[in-house]
Amino acid sequence: MSLFDKFQPLIDIRAELEALGVMPFGAVTEKLLSATEGIVNGHRVILAGTNNYLGLTFEPECIAAARQALEEQGTGTTGSRMANGTFADHLRLEQELAAFFDRRHAIVFSTGYAATMGMSSTLAGPGDVIVMDADSHASLYDGVRLSGADIIRFRHNDPDDLAKRLRRLGERTENCLIITEGMFSMLGDQAPLAEIAAVKREYGGMLLVDEAHSLGMLGEHGRGVAERDGVEKDVDFVVGTFSKSLGAIGGYCVSNHPQLEAVRFATRSYIFTASPSPSVIASTRAALRILQRRPELRERLWDNARRLYDGLKALGFQLSPEPSPVVAVTIEDRHQAIAWWNELLQHGAYVNLVMPPASPGDYALLRCSVSAAHTPDQIDHILAAFERLPG
Ligand code: PMP
């Protein structure tokens, strides 16, 4: 027996991939040519698996803001938000996030993971109950495990199942946190938030929604699924990340509850880690301004999403349930998924290979994410790469 025995399945998979000469996990981006093109594992590719939804990673305004912050404030804060790591610009970004979401309070975290894991581990504690969508992101699962609360899962995107579970809780719903995502990361399907909000209104509890993948993508102002469904007032806490549509790294929680200011100082992933670097805060602030100023980015993103979804559908691939900037091809046989991922790379398209347990079912995914920065020609290039896969 050794500590390493439990890693044997992982060791076996790595050996299998190495023997095939395929390296899908931790593929190396050797050079970036733009937000949508690069050289990955030696192949020049269109990047179709980056979550760079608005394509802002090379936006001159963001780069200029980051460069200025780097020169004026240095490379890092070298400390926690709670100690020396709160600079004036962290507070400015919190104010801007609160204003953008039309909420009174906002917390900036060092990563999206720190935000979602931190809030889901802190809001509910021993004696409380968490009722969460079964397909919630790993960071939410990690958080609720740390919370000490009783954890109940409801069937993915099933408000009736949520209602059933809340009904069974009786008065315990007073101490209950309901957790779901706006748009789900793996299949790009959206939570039925209007129905979930109605269930919450009927049975009680507080609602936390992770809008990591829907910020800048949905709703009149780009605030996500809750805005699109007109139920923002029923969502007690919105959490999310700067690492997707805002093109940086970091995370946030916004809320109207004044207690959020106290929760901040109880959240270990806020306290026991260094705060985001000034350059990250600066580019995020610039990206948030652009997200608001240029709604046409959202339109371009959805045009590209529909072009890819419709094209893959016409080619006969089995796809995620609805058109979305996340388009996932589902594949039963994981060996085929690995082979196809590799062929796509050789044909000039980088997508994400996702295997169970990271995929929501017992199947593998070739997960594509499109960007507002993709041109229609680049989307067609991705489609052409899929078309060349052996049937
Ligand atoms: N929540 C969801 C739904 C996510 O998909 C992710 C990242 N994949 C996170 C939280 C964590 O965000 P980050 O990678 O920015 O830490």
Q: What residue ranges do the domains of the chain occupy?
A: 5-58+295-387, 77-276
Look at residue 390 in the predicted model and tell me its pLDDT: 86
Summarize pLDDT for 213-232 with one digit per residue, the tens.
Answer: 999 999 999 999 999 999 99
Spatial separation of the C-alpha atoms in residues 249 and 57, rounded to whole Å: 11
Q: Could you tell me which CATH number the domain at 5-58+295-387 has?
A: 3.90.1150.10
Among 245, 310, 323, 188, which Cα is nearest to 56's?
245
- Provide the H-helix boundaries in the chain: 8-20, 60-73, 88-101, 112-122, 138-147, 159-169, 193-203, 225-228, 260-263, 268-271, 278-293, 296-314, 334-346, 376-387
Look at residue 381 in the predicted model and tell me its pLDDT: 98
CB 231 within 8 A of CB 240: no
- What CATH architecture applies to the domain 77-276? 3-Layer(aba) Sandwich (3.40)
> Does 103 contact ligand 1 (Cβ within 6 A)?
no
Look at residue 63 in the predicted model and tell me its pLDDT: 98
- In angstroms, what is the span from residue 112 Cα to ligand 1's centroid? 5
Look at residue 356 in the predicted model and tell me its pLDDT: 85
Give the number of other CB atoms < 10 A from CB of residue 45: 27
Look at residue 1 in the predicted model and tell me its pLDDT: 84
Determine which one of 137, 213, 347, 381 is catalytic.
213
- In angstroms, what is the span from residue 211 Cα to ligand 1's centroid? 9
> Does 139 contact ligand 1 (Cβ within 6 A)?
yes
Summarize pLDDT for 353-386 with one digit per residue, the tens.
Answer: 998 888 888 999 999 999 999 999 999 999 999 9
> Does 110 contact ligand 1 (Cβ within 6 A)?
no
Low-confidence stretches of the chain (pLDDT < 50) are: none
Look at residue 376 in the predicted model and tell me its pLDDT: 98
DSSP per-residue string spanning 112-124:
HHHHHHHHHHHSS
Look at residue 354 in the predicted model and tell me its pLDDT: 94
- Nearest C-alpha to atom 8 of ligand 1 is from which residue? 185
- Nearest C-alpha to atom 4 of ligand 1 is from which residue? 212
- In angstroms, what is the span from residue 110 Cα to ligand 1's centroid? 12
Among 309, 177, 183, 189, which Cα is nearest to 237's?
177
The three-state secondary structure class of 240 is strand
Helix axes 138-147, 112-122, angle to 10 degrees: 30
Look at residue 33 in the predicted model and tell me its pLDDT: 97
Query: Which residues does 107 contact at the CB level (< 8 Å), separation at least 6?
Result: 94, 115, 252, 253, 254, 260, 263, 264, 267, 270
